[in-house]
Amino acid sequence: MKIAIIGSGSWGTAMAVLLANKGNDVYMWSWKQEETDRLNRDRENKEFLPGIKFPQNIICSHDMSECIDGAEVIVTAVPSPATRTTAKQMSGFVSDGQKIVNLSKGLEGDLRLSEVYKEEIPQADISVLSGPSHAEEVSRRIPTTVVVASGKTETAEFLQDVFMTDAFRVYTSDDIIGVELGGALKNVIALCAGISDGLGYGDNTKAALITRGVAEISRLGVAMGANIYTFAGLSGLGDLIVTATSTLSRNYTAGELIGKGMDLNTVLTKVHMVVEGVNTATAAYGLGKKYGVETPIIEQAYNVLYNGVDPRDAVNTLMTRDKKSE
């Protein structure tokens, strides 16, 4: 089977290796020719996933048409801010009913990323794959479980077979809204968990952020049409746990640096990869206002990132809110 991977960062590379090791012919697209040349020369992504050698059946290309033409599955793994631009580039090469499965986690304003792809590539059959899955661990065959969501049961089951291995277990779901929102919004909460650790707070604080964060994500998700039970699954609580507790998480790492007093621009430069939670905080804050949903942690994350609020003052604001029942 020919599979196209659009995006050659850590996650796109990890998926290319996984799918190539299953015997597929994998074409991985990079947005810069010099990056394509480097990947083909090194047969390894030394910048984003060092130490993982490419199987021979991974072909790296800067030619979008070469990658997409005839592919049974197109896997998109670009940073969320690049979603629409990439979708526009892809649109003319995607045939009717061609399957796209998006791995990126984020929002574009009020829109989920699958909605962006649907606007730009209406002829495609669009699904999403999400869950607790560090690229570094997946590429080393550390046991991982994820969920693939589609509005069509047959598509979800087909993709389940495409991706599943003895080290990468895939479940199916029909709740695209919930799976996408869980994957996007957890990045904001993970950023807050990192800030908490950077401030020197303990496990109690982080546990509170995770559990109350799930409550916020669930409230907002249900208001947007998701199934509440999705947020107790892999793409909700599962993804939040791994992102909010691991130094492999760029969102946690960025938050920790902010908690230690580093300014946002310096943090983003130091982390080197896109910190999705920084962009998503703005969209999540706006969605809470739009749907009339109380999201106090997300609001304070937004205030710290964009309004200059000191993280300790943000914590105090959260802790001294009006009394509530759980």
CATH number for the domain including 148? 3.40.50.720
Q: Which of 174, 203, 230 is the last residue of a domain?
A: 174
Supply the range of the domain harboring residue 260: 177-319
Last residue of a domain, one of 174, 208, 242: 174
Strand partners for 28: 5, 60
| Residue 324 domain-assigned (yes or no) | no
pLDDT for the residue numbered 69: 98
245 plus 104 within the same structural domain? no
On whether both 213 and 193 belong to a single domain, the answer is: yes
Q: Residue 191 belongs to a domain with what CATH number?
A: 1.10.1040.10
- Clarify whether residues 160 and 215 are in a common domain: no
Place of tokens 């998701």: 226
Catalytic residues: 186
Write out pLDDT tens, residues 53-111.
999 999 999 999 999 999 999 999 999 999 999 999 999 999 999 999 999 999 999 99
pLDDT reading at 272 higher than 90: no
Task: Tell me what pLDDT residue 273 has.
Answer: 83
Is residue 25 in some structural domain? yes
Residue 325 lies in a domain: no
Q: Do 57 and 182 belong to one domain?
A: no
Q: Are 160 and 201 contained in the same domain?
A: no
Q: Is 187 among the domain residues?
A: yes
Secondary structure of the chain as H, E, C letters:
CEEEEECCCHHHHHHHHHHHHCCCEEEEECCCHHHHHHHHHHCEECCCEEEEECCCCEEEECCHHHHHCCCCEEEECCCHHHHHHHHHHHHCCCCCCCEEEECCCCEECCEEHHHHHHHHCCCCEEEEEECCCCHHHHCCCCCEEEEEECCCHHHHHHHHHHHCCCCEEEEEECCHHHHHHHHHHHHHHHHHHHHHHHHCCCHHHHHHHHHHHHHHHHHHHHHCCCCHHHHHCHHHHHHHHHHHHCCCCHHHHHHHHHHCCCCHHHHHHHHCCCCHHHHHHHHHHHHHHHHCCCCHHHHHHHHHHHCCCCHHHHHHHHHCCCCCCC
The number of folded domains in the chain is: 2
Please indicate, yes or no, if residue 231 is contained in any of the structural domains: yes
Give per-residue pLDDT as tens, 222-268. Answer: 999 999 999 999 999 999 999 999 999 999 999 999 999 999 999 99
Question: Do 166 and 271 fall into the same domain?
Answer: no
Q: Same domain for 162 and 236?
A: no
- Whether 163 and 298 map to the same domain: the answer is no
Looking at 174, 206, 236, which one is the last position of a domain?
174
C-alpha to C-alpha distances, 12 to 4, 114, 150, 179, 221, nearest whole angstrom: 10, 17, 20, 19, 27
Tokens at 283, concatenated: 């969209």
Give just the sign of the alpha carbon dihedral 126, 132, 135, 138. Answer: negative
Q: Are residues 187 and 164 in the same domain?
A: no
Q: Are residues 73 and 190 in the same domain?
A: no
Q: What is the pLDDT of residue 274?
A: 86
Q: Can you tell me the distance from the alpha carbon of 289 to that of 308, in angstroms, rounded to the nearest whole number?
A: 20
Distance in angstroms (rounded) separating the CA atoms of residues 274 and 239: 17
158 lies in some domain: yes
The answer on 9 and 78 residing in a single domain is: yes
Statement to judge: residues 197 and 132 lie in one domain? no
